Amino acid sequence: MDAQQHAQFAAETSRRGEWVRQGNRFTERIADDGAWPVEPGRYHLVVSLACPWAHRSLIVRRLLGLDAALSLGVVDPIRDERGWRFTLDPGGVDPVTGLGFLAEAYRAADPDFSGRVTVPAVLDIPSRRVVTNDFPQLSLDLSTEWTRHHRPGAPELYPEHLRDEIDAINAEVYRDVNNGVYRCGFATTQAAYEQAFDRLFTALDRLELRLADRRYLVGDTITEADVRLFTTLVRFDAVYHGHFKCNRNKLTELPVLWAYARDLFQTPGFGDTVDFDHIKRHYYGTHAELNPTGIVPAGPDLSGWRLPHHRDQLGGRPFGEGTPPG
């Protein structure tokens, strides 16, 4: 879909009250056969710990052991009118790039950019410009293009013989779950909200059935598909259930998905990349149209994430022939 078609589509759906996600503006890939070759130390991954799309890249980077090859910048969970800020760093400046706002790297790549600045974004450190904010492709490329720099024992998150099945699951999960919660939360008509709501919980019911007798979504090890589902599930009760009106059930009331999510949370690389404080402060503190008071709820109780899940009884090996990240 080109820019004109996307604008027409957005206008039509907005009239129906449906929320439309902004397309990714920067889609160049970091790959040895392209303009941006893989070079350890050259690129800087910028994430928000609150953002589920950025969280994917953070998990994959950790599982594959790319910490030394790809540096990490973390923005403040609260955006102001200028966008994502590096106010968590001393002096409010990212120590790797010297930037105060991620928007500066967007303008360096495209001075005419007028869209919403999004994370994750990978910056070219020498030029301080964005190379890519294409979050679906980014995590796949970390698995397939950065293989020379993976840690010993890194899992295979996107195995070639399972890619068709992974891609199919990812497409369904993105449409009705990952993006579905947003289509519920930002719908502006009752009909649009109810349509997104029904699709979301129909998809979650299907996933309950799929995972009832298998530990992971595809194959017997963790794959990219599990990473993508996890980042929505881990935010579900904390923000989506109430803030986005996704309230047919809490995650804790869906026994299979709740056990599955706990299994992943307790797996190195998943729970240790979750920051519930950032998640709650971002969602409740930056969506004034949904939460005008800015009050951040005190709940939910997070202790349940450490309860036994018993999913290991289904078999499967989280890292296959590999090992957990250190």
H helices then E strands: how many in the chain? 11, 4
What's the 3-state SS for 163-176? HHHHHHHHHHHHHH
- What letter does residue 239 receive in the DSSP assignment? I
* Residue 184 is among the residues annotated as catalytic for this protein: no
* Residue 182 is among the residues annotated as catalytic for this protein: yes
Residue 143 region by backbone torsions, left for phi larger than 0, else alpha for psi between -120 and 50, else beta: alpha
Residues 6+ apart with CB under 8 A from 309: 259, 260, 262, 263, 266
* 43, 158, 182, 216: the active-site residue: 182
* 43, 51, 184, 216: the active-site residue: 51
Q: What does the DSSP assignment read for 243-275? A: HT---S--GGGSHHHHHHHHHHHTSTTTGGG--
Q: Which of 204, 209, 180, 202 minimizes the C-alpha distance to 192?
A: 180
**Among all residues, which ones are annotated catalytic?**
51, 182
